[in-house]
Amino acid sequence: MWHSETDILEDYILDISPDLFNTLLKDHTMSTVDNQRNILWATADYEYLGKGYEYKSPIRPELITGKNGHVIMPRVLKRRDLQRDRSREKAEVFTPSWICNTQNNLVDHDWFGREDVFNHENNDHTWTTSTEKIIFPEGKTWRDYVRSTRLEITCGEAPYLVSRYDTTTGLPIALENRIGLLDRKLRIVSENTETSGEWLKWTQVAFQNIYGYEWQGDNLLIARENLLMTFIDYYQAKFNKAPQLKSLLYIAYIISWNLWQMDGLKCVVPDSCGLKPSVEQSLFDEPKMNHCEGCRTGNMHKHNGVYCIIKDWEAKSPKDKIRFVDLIKR
């Protein structure tokens, strides 16, 4: 039922549920209660395909499924010249899994206060997984680890968060050897829970505390798909069956909030700044057009674009949202 190859064909997700697929395409910053807005392509790489593939157009299901099912694919499967162009124009460089592992190990070394918690790094850019149940330091519990917040900036296909495959070789990585920040949380959840209800509860907490943002829409969709498939992989490994649709839909909802489309230097929806009418003009004046102060001065708090919002999962009201820029010190 599930697709385990490097390239997750969008038709697989669409066949499970159109609602599931539409959730992975949603942009919460731009959407309203009555009108879903999807993430944008935010790349000119697909414009040669015609109408609907323009840089500022939203990614719609029919553009990437059916006869168009191979339009979006991981970077490692793209043509070499396209990889080169994206590296030059958007500084798109994907990190080998062994480097992701090394840096993630540094995070855990700091959190646990010891080395080799999840694996031991070898001299040949491989690693040997620790097979014993993870022991926690005094004063910290497995629940604390699951709740700890992690963010991958300019996340691309999210190789620091999940590691279904090596983003530079395309080779799949066995579940027990995965090294992503979310992989580690899900291993902890699986080691410390028994029932599906308890596992789902703490897996949802794990997903709620993993974040990432990305400019280009195709990368972002792949990252979201990778997180969804990772959920499926760990559920199947734990319970030897597929998760229910309602579980998939809620995990996809979390993913659609926590991995979002953003210009990381401005904290706004990509290319949403520009020449805009002044808010101070009177009713009878000619519209006065102002350039973006944030773009002119480099002050990320002064842009006139659309600032991206994220969800506070611990807020009392489900309507509580946070502008990501407000989390950054002035």
Higher-pLDDT residue of 89, 226: 226
| Residue pLDDT, tens place only, 96-127 | 999 999 999 999 999 999 999 999 999 999 99
CA distance 188 to 201: 13
Asked if 236 contacts 242 with a C-beta cutoff of 8 angstroms, the reply is yes
Going from the C-alpha of 104 to that of each of 35, 107, 114, 144, 187, the distances in angstroms are: 38, 5, 13, 17, 15
Q: What is the β-pairing status of strands 119-121 and 276-277?
A: unpaired
According to DSSP, the residues that pair with 66 across neighbouring strands are none
The reported pLDDT for the residue numbered 224 is 98
| Residue pLDDT, tens place only, 15-73 | 999 999 999 999 999 999 999 999 999 999 999 999 999 999 999 999 999 999 999 98
> Is a pLDDT exceeding 80 seen at residue 243?
yes
CA distance 179 to 182: 8
> Is a pLDDT exceeding 90 seen at residue 8?
no
> Is a pLDDT exceeding 80 seen at residue 140?
yes
pLDDT averaged over every residue in the chain: 92
Taking residues 136-162, report their average pLDDT.
Answer: 97
Residue among 282, 325, 280 at smallest CA distance from 301: 325
**Domain locations along the chain:** 10-90, 97-261, 276-327
Taking residues 209-226, report their average pLDDT.
Answer: 97
Asked if 68 contacts 74 with a C-beta cutoff of 8 angstroms, the reply is no
